[in-house]
Amino acid sequence: MRILRAEGRAAAPWSNGGGVTREIAVQPPGSGWDTFAWRVSLADVTRDGPYSPLPGVRRILTVVDGAGLELTVDGTTWLLPERYRPFAFPGGAATGSRLLDGRPVVNLNVMLREGRAAATVEMVRGSRRVWPADDGAAGPDGCPDRAPDRDPDEVMVVAVEGCTRLGGPGDHEARLGRFDVALLTAPDAAAAALWTDGTAAVIALSVTVPGRS
């Protein structure tokens, strides 16, 4: 179990000045924008504006703090007035964002290179096994991101709200503060248990390797 604390996570300003992004993890480690298979980050969005186009990338966005967003994706408007509802959309689409009530939000972003990575995003309250996840990662667009065709390579637990504890193999237990993250490999994830008195995100991630089924 690898613990990634929120404290000290670097903030990268957006080129349009509309917010900052804090990268949580990327695969392969150290990958840039043109080479990652998957990337998970938190973004502080402070004003309305367009998203940078990312052709060949599937995005799953979840509002985890604030009043919500209105997204316009290739001319279709989607209202995201509630927190904790994953919304999947193509990164290459022309996308604009408007803050509801003009108040800043924090988004949990999962980016997947098409043909190289797959993921599910589930928001959890209470207790459950970390993996396997329940079916039901659909966003408000009614089009859920497909679950991996096999067991995930890694499972990420993001503490979003409240107190979160994670029990792993060998009686190891981790306590996660707000936006702290636990990253588990698939065998350990299957043996881990999650407890939260608030909300946590469970992200199951798979990478497609040529020649492996």
pLDDT mean over 73-100: 95
pLDDT value at position 124?
A: 95
Q: For residues 133 and 99, which has the higher predicted lDDT (pLDDT)?
A: 99
pLDDT value at position 170?
A: 66
The structure's pTM equals: 0.89
Q: Nearest 5°: phi and psi at 101?
A: 65, 10
Query: How does pLDDT run across 163-205, given as a tens digit for each residue?
Result: 999 987 666 789 999 999 999 988 888 889 999 999 999 999 9
Integer angstrom CA distances of residue 140 from 28, 55, 131, 145, 199: 30, 22, 23, 11, 19
Estimate to the nearest angstrom the gap between the alpha carbon of 80 and the chain centroid. Answer: 16
Q: For residues 10 and 170, which has the higher predicted lDDT (pLDDT)?
A: 10
Walk me through the domains of the chain, giving residue ranges and CATH numbers: 8-113 (2.60.120.10), 117-207 (2.60.120.10)
pLDDT value at position 156?
A: 96
pLDDT value at position 136?
A: 44
pLDDT bracket for residue 132 (50, 70, 90): confident
Looking at the predicted structure, is the pLDDT value of residue 138 above 50? no
**Rounded Cα distance, 6 and 115, in Å:** 30
Looking at the predicted structure, is the pLDDT value of residue 102 above 80? yes
